[in-house]
Amino acid sequence: MSLNLIYDIGICIYALSLLFFISDCVSRNRAAKRIGTGLLVVVALLQATAIGMRVVETGTIPVFSSFDFLLLSSLGVTVTSIAVVIMKRAEFAPLLMNIIGFCVMFLNRFWVSTGYNTLESWQTVHGMLILHITLASISFTALTIGAVFAGMYMFLHRKLKHKKWNDIIRRLPSLEILDKYSYMALLIGTPVLILSLVVAVISIASEGRFTLLADLKVLSTTLALGVYVYYFVRRRIQHRSGLETAVWALIGFVFIIVNFLLNAWSEFHSWSGV
C-alpha cells in the first residue's frame, strides 16, 4: 500500500470522524461522539503508519521537509484531541482541534510535496537539526491547543456578555477553565519554542554560518516568540483580563502560521510548498 493511498484513506476517515463530532455538537449524541473518537484513533494509526513509511523511505527520522513536519504536527493534534475526549476536559475542543488537524492534513496532501531535503551541508549538526524540528513540531501542537481554548474563551465571553444562552453555551466549560487550559498549553509550547530556537542558533553557530542569524526565518521565529513572551507579561505581571490575553494568544498563533509559510524564503530551512 502506497503512502499516498494511506494518506488519502486517513483524510477520508478524518472527514467522517468530523461529521460524527459535529453531530454530537449540534445535538448531544454520545454514540456519535464514541464513533467519531474511534475513527479518530484509526486516523492516528494511519498517520503513524505514514510516518513509519517515511522513515523507511528516507532512512532517517522524517522531519526535514514541510510535508513531514505537517504530518508530525497533525498527528500531535490528533492524539491530543483524543486525550481531551477521553479525559472529558472540554466540550467542543476536540472538534475544533480536529478541524485544524484535518485542514493541516488536507493541505499537506494537495499543496506540499513529499520531497526530502538531505541537508548534506549540515551533516555535522544533523542530530541537532532533528531535535530542532521535532521541538518545533511539539511547540506547534501545544500552541495550536492554546489557540483553540483562547478562541473558545473569546466566544463564550462574547455570548455571556450579550446574555445569549443556549444549549451550546451550557455545555462549554467556564471562562476560568478555558483560560486555565489555554494558559497551560502556552506554558508548554512557549518554552519548547524557545528551546527549539536555541538549538537552531547553536546549530548555525556550530557550522560557522553566522550570517544565517539574520535569516528571515530566525527573525520571524524570534518575533513570534516575542508575542508569546508579551502574553505572559500581560498575564502574570500586568494582570490583564482573560479576554485580553486570549486575544494575544490568537495573535501569537497567527504569527506561528506566518512563520511556517516563510520557510519557502528561508536559507536555513529551504522548504517550499511545491
Nearest to 113 by CA among 266, 268, 263, 267: 263
| This prediction's pTM | 0.83
Q: How far apart are CA 88 and CA 40, in angstroms?
A: 15
Say if CB 255 and CB 224 are below 8 A apart. Answer: yes
Q: Where are the domains of the chain?
A: 1-115, 119-274
Report the greatest alpha carbon distance in the chain: 60
Q: Please tell me the predicted confidence (pLDDT) of residue 269.
A: 56
Residues contacting residue 164 through CB under 8 Å, at least 6 positions apart: none
Q: From first to last of its 274 residues, what are the pLDDT tens digits of the chain?
A: 788 888 889 999 999 999 999 888 877 788 888 999 999 999 999 999 988 888 887 776 666 677 788 888 889 999 999 998 888 767 788 889 999 989 888 888 777 655 545 444 455 566 777 788 888 889 989 999 999 999 999 998 888 887 777 777 777 888 889 999 999 999 999 999 999 888 888 877 876 766 777 777 778 888 888 889 888 888 877 667 778 888 888 998 998 888 777 766 665 555 443 3
Q: Please tell me the predicted confidence (pLDDT) of residue 38.
A: 93
Sign of the dihedral through C-alpha 221, 201, 193, 128: positive
